[in-house]
A and B are shown apart, each in its own frame.
Chain A
Amino acid sequence: MSDPVIQIRGLSVAYGNQLAVRDVSVDIPARQITAIIGPSGCGKTTLLRSMSRLIELVEGVRVWGQVLFHGQNIYDPRVDVTEIRKRIGLLAQRPFTLPMSIYENVAYGPHLHGLRKRKALDAIVEKELRAAGLWDEVKDRLHAPASALSVGQQQRLCLARGLAVEPEVLLCDEVTSALDPISGQRIEARLLELKTDYTIVLVTHVLRQARRLADYVIFMYMGELIEHGPANQVFHDPQEAKTRAYLKGEFY
């Protein structure tokens, strides 16, 4: 197994008095797709969002433990959270395009971080739209509002936007669940391509999707990490009774 990019150590997350993630420790391998699976409400999205401190946007949330990114705890108060989020990107469940043009959506991130040169921005926009498989569909209307795109196109635009700040890690939160099957397949194909350059963590409640994409699997149940390991092992030879039951479809 390659070196872990993210190491989670004793992480617990609570909303008010409700523990959503309970003492989780696990490593996320580099340049692979790690799928977090488990029944709904098991804490998989919470776990994903604590990896770039986006969980802190929820009011009344409390976090214990550590998330080490290249050995540094991102919850250390001295850490610049904007830098962390630049390097650990997010693709959300529903595409939220920014209220601006297609071009500006992709250029927004690099612009935030100080890139002003038009030529350089042009190059990034084309490169990332190609990487997201959207370039051919939008190259003639880059300055049209992003809201004019279909939902599937918007999700690929969000992917391009996330890639444009050159993150190392891409957190994907049920990214195909709001899409039609064809658009979903397109996103999946992109993720498989991207894993040669990026570390991808994918939350999904679709077991077949995890089987198609995952190299590494984390199974959660009721806020606890039950089992984790290479996809082959977890899918074909699960060690825990709960994992076996879930994989057999005995609960969702």
Chain B
Amino acid sequence: MRRMRFRRLQDQFAGHLMAALTVFAASLVLLIAVALLMRARPLLDIKPLGQLLTSSDWRPLHGEFGFLPFIAGTLWVTGLAMVLAVPPCLLCAIYLAEYAPRRLRETVKPLVDLLAGIPSVVYGLWGTLTVVPIIRDVITPWAGKRLDFIPLLHAGNPTGYGVLAGGIVLAVMTFPVIISVTEEVIRAVPDGLREAALALGATRWQMVKGVVLRRSLPGVIAAIVLGFSRAFGETMAVMMVVGNVAQIPRSLFDAAYPLPALIANNYGEMMSIPLYDAALLAAALVLLLVVLVFTLAARAILLRAVRRAV
């Protein structure tokens, strides 16, 4: 009888404990956002958020805190990374899931997953020691001669540090996420569906394109969003190769200064400047909000795709 009551108490306690922990984990985003908001208040009280987001005037000593160059830098680097990463990653995942023999897949997959475990500072070093010199010594001079007439490719920055270097490093960092998740999503498509297409006389590529990808589209979008989130908030590796100049990039070769780099480089330094602390925390808040908006938008797209396709 007594034993019975103890077990019931134990059960209730475990239930409550797990519920409390779940609530805590779920409310973390909210707690962080509120804390950032409180700390950014001193700046937000004098400058409306709209003005901060659209101004490109960054002169902390004069009390001007325009976030536009940093937001633009983040979007440029992340956007380029996705353009570089998504097509090869999808083809790679399709190959691994649909074409590669099992032995090959079982060898390659862990190698790709290993990429995810490499610390970002190592990617930053690779960027500094390999990517930047190649851009500086090979790509920029070549583009200066041949492609300079395209505004997007104007080679105005000879250092090699810039959007291109950041985009390449970030693209490689998102490879394992996108490949891994996409491959798994594709392999979750039932074999009966593949057989149905092939039995009608489809070639393997027709089957993949028309049936398998169509069925797994929501999952593929989720994989891309996951890669995007990884790229968006990535700090260290990007900071080491993008040049960190507070300007709106006009060309792939220009230096940029993404939001995470701004925060990491400056927090703890120059804190005697009035409102600087509030400005950096407002930047963090903006970063958080942008990631949130993108994730929610992606989820909305996902839900619509699911409803349409299945």
Residues of A whose CB lies within 8 Å of any CB of B are 52, 54, 57, 59, 82-86, 89-90, 92, 94, 96, 98-100, 108-109, 112-113, 145, 147, 158, 161-162, 165
Contacts and interface: CB of A to CB of B under 8 A. Distances in A.
Nearest to A98: B211
Contacts of B210: 98, 108, 112
Given A57-B191, A59-B101, A112-B206, A99 B310 contact: yes
Contacts of A158: 196
Contacts of B196: 90, 92, 96, 98, 158, 161
B1 interface: no
Q: Is the interface of A mostly helix, strand, loop or mixed?
A: helix
B98 to A, nearest CB: 11
13 contacts: A52-B199, A57-B198, A82-B201, A82-B203, A85-B199, A86-B201, A89-B199, A94-B192, A98-B193, A99-B211, A99-B215, A112-B201, A161-B196
A100 B195 CA distance: 16
Nearest to B197: A98
Contact of B200 (A59, A94, A99, A165): A165
A113 B210 CA distance: 13
Contacts of A82: 201-203
Interface in B186-228: 190-203, 206, 210-211, 214-215
Nearest to B216: A99
Interface of B: 101-102, 190-203, 206, 210-211, 214-215, 309-310
Contacts of B215: 99
Given A84-B201, A162-B199, A165-B201, 20 more contacts: A52-B199, A54-B199, A57-B194, A57-B195, A86-B201, A89-B200, A90-B199, A96-B195, A96-B196, A98-B197, A98-B210, A99-B193, A99-B215, A108-B200, A109-B200, A112-B201, A112-B210, A113-B201, A145-B310, A162-B200
A59 B102 contact: yes
Interface centre among A84, A85, A161 (most CB of B within 10 A): A85
Contact of B198 (A54, A108, A147): A54
Contacts, number: 69
B202 to A, nearest CB: 5
B222 to A, nearest CB: 16
Contacts of A86: 200-201
B100 to A, nearest CB: 11
A234 B295 CA distance: 65
A85 B200 contact: yes
B101 A90 contact: no
B102 A96 contact: no
A96 B193 contact: yes
Contact of A96 (B101, B190, B206, B309): B190
A96 B214 CA distance: 14
A145 B310 CA distance: 7
